[in-house]
Amino acid sequence: MFKRLLGMFSNDLAIDLGTANTLVLVKGQGICINEPSVVAIQYDKHGKQRILAVGQEAKDMVGKTPGNIKAIRPMKDGVIADFEVTEMMIRYFIEKAHKRKGFFSPRIIICVPYGLTQVERRAVKESAANAGARYVYLIEEPMAAAIGAGIPVKDPNGNLVVDIGGGTTEIGVTSLGGLVISKSIRVAGDNIDQAIIDYVKKNFNLLIGERVAEELKIKIGTATPLKEELTTIVRGRDHIVGSLASVEITSEHIRTAMKDSIEAIADALKDVLEQTPPELAGDIVENGIVLTGGGALIRGLDKYLSELVKLPVYIAEDPLLAVARGTGIALDEIDLLQQTAYED
């Protein structure tokens, strides 16, 4: 019955509801939306609110809005921090994916962090249902990342994937279509950005925002020393005197700022390896570890982790899209969907 019903709807959606970015895939069409998980809301004099912008347009407003407009990131650490705004955002993306407001209610599969509580899972499902979904499935992020990275998750072999997203780092060992061991920590891209903000403030008395910190991470961030360190000029406000200022920042500075966050990710990986059954551990030694998510693009992170755990570490092809791609495959492959999606 489930298979027959699922096949009747060509407008089914897969959503990677991330802390930093939301990606939406339409069944049979691929990724149609890839935008920041940001909503700009305007308040009138009576306190009533309306959506001014969603996605990239809203992100461009962060830190630049007047008093009656707020740019909000409704997802924090991989979970819903603002239920009402998240519902608005999901509804907007659903309508945009269908390019019209009138449509048959779609079935939706949403990727969520492994560590969500039942209450948090229910909140995600209710947000999607209230936004117009006919039926909602949840798939855990490590499994979606593994599927999207091309790992043969249905085989009786152990494979290990580390997905470093915006709000959480998800680590999972897959075998026979399921997660044998998983761990989710709320240390990831946002945590690293905040560490950079704090470091620059403490060491240079310079106040910078999230966008500048993220740009520093991408432009000169590195997990291992470079033969020739990278440099860039950073502009912000002097924390002491309040005037505008600029300083030269090197990749060594950013590496120092990221050190604690990267070590926390490494410790979580070691914990999972220590809990892995011997039979699967042998497979992981042979297959190596696969990195996905935006954090996988930090220079030298694969080398850093490989030297730490004494195993080969590979970066997945197009790691930023691995989770979304895996969620879409789970939607397309009904048998895989039934094995890996959570239904309360």
Query: What global pTM score does this model have?
Result: 0.87
Place of tokens 């990342």: 145
Mean predicted confidence (pLDDT) in 179-205: 95
d(CA 323, CA 15): 10
Supply the mean pLDDT for the chain. 87
**Chain centroid to CA 277:** 28
d(CA 122, CA 30): 27
- Tell me if 2-36+77-143+323-342 shares its fold with 151-315: yes
**Identity of residue 244:** L
Region of residue 20 (left: phi > 0; alpha: psi -120 to 50; beta: else): alpha
* Joined tokens for residue 8: 């009747």
Which residues is 53 bridged to in the sheet?
40
Tens digits of residue pLDDT in 185-196: 999 999 999 999
Produce one character per residue of 266-282: b if its CB has 16 or more CB atoms within 10 Å, e if not. Answer: bebbeebbeebeeebbe
Q: Between 2.40.160.10, 3.40.30.10, 3.40.50.1980, 3.30.420.40, what CATH number should domain 151-315 receive?
A: 3.30.420.40
Distance CA 101, CA 128 (A): 15
Other beta carbons within 10 Å of 8: 9
Answer for the pair 272, 183: CB distance below 8 angstroms, yes or no: yes
- Single-letter amino acid, residue 340: T
In CATH, the architecture of 2-36+77-143+323-342 is 2-Layer Sandwich (3.30)
What the block records as the tokens of 314 is 């590979």
Q: How confident is the model over 25-74, as pLDDT tens digits?
A: 988 888 899 999 999 988 877 777 888 889 888 888 877 777 778 888 88
Measure the CA–CA gap between 59 and 64, rounded to whole angstroms: 10
pLDDT tens string 270-280:
999 999 999 99
Structural domain spans, the chain: 2-36+77-143+323-342, 38-72, 151-315
Residues 304-328 pLDDT 10s: 999 999 999 999 999 999 999 999 9
- Reported as a single tens digit per residue, the pLDDT across 247-263 is 999 999 999 999 999 99
The CA distance from 160 to 39, in Å, is 34
Asked if 149 and 160 count as a contact pair (C-beta separation under 8 A), the reply is: no
Res. 106 pLDDT band, cuts 50 70 90: confident
